[in-house]
Structure 1
Amino acid sequence: MPEPVIVDIPHKLGRDAARARIAGGVGKIGSMFPGGGTVDERWEGDTLHFTVTALGQSVASRLEIHDAHVHAEVDLPPMLALFAGKIREKLMQEAPKLLK
């Protein structure tokens, strides 16, 4: 199994405000993946577990909300592992927008 794509996104919002902003923008996450589509989500405390359907594959991901950063992990299926660099780059560009 390929290594997950891991990104830490700094913020100055505090944990509660960051969680609220991410909760309000989680629907946009699907557009960060090639062929992104439906996003299924569930919260477990301050961790958002979500699945994005991309190119016919299910991509399981987690966002852990911390006081000064959000830790994102994206588990790519083998077919999408080829796009790991592009997905990491897109996350680095687009994820901070969820916190604005």
Structure 2
Amino acid sequence: MTKPLVVSVPHQLGRPEAIRRLKDGLQWAREKYGTVVAIQQEDWAEDHLAFRVAVLGQAAAGTMDVSDTDVTLSVQLPWLLAKFAEKAQAMLQKQGHLLLEKK
């Protein structure tokens, strides 16, 4: 079993706005990348998300915790996707910053 990929993204939005943007971002991902990424589970419990996704036929599960100042994503990747974890981590941090920028 590989170690989880953990990404923390700071923000200045406050918890409710960050959650709203994350939910919108997940919907956008479904629409744009639905042929490559399937979100199989998305269970929100206030500021905590448990999810399962399939990427190119590989399943991954994780959590996302939203605080007033940051979002922490933890994903348990299968070995094939774990090979790309370093690049994925940088991409997730970049996309997270873009999603959570104050506008």
TM-score bracket for this pair, using the shorter chain length: 0.7 to 0.9
Distance 1:14 1:24, change over 3 A: same
Tell me, what secondary structure is at the counterpart of 1:12? coil
Structure 2 distance, partners of 1:29, 1:91, is: 13
1:96 Cα offset (Å): 1.7
Structure 1 portions without partners, runs of 5+: none
The equivalent of 1:56 in structure 2 is 57
Q: Is 2:20 aligned against 1:20?
A: yes
Give the TM-score normalised by structure 1: 0.85
Aligned equivalent of 2:93 = 92
Q: Which stretch of the first structure deviates more once superposed, 5-14 or 21-30? A: 21-30
Q: What's the RMSD between the two structures over aligned residues?
A: 2.2
Q: Distance in 2 between matches of 1:62 and 1:47?
A: 7
Q: Answer with 1 or 2: which has the greater Rg.
A: 2
Deviations 1:12-68 (A, max 9, x none): 0111111111111113457xxxx8411131102211122221121111121100010
In structure 2, runs of 5+ residues without a counterpart are none
The sequence identity of aligned pairs, in percent, is 35
Give TM-score scaled by structure 2 length.
Answer: 0.83
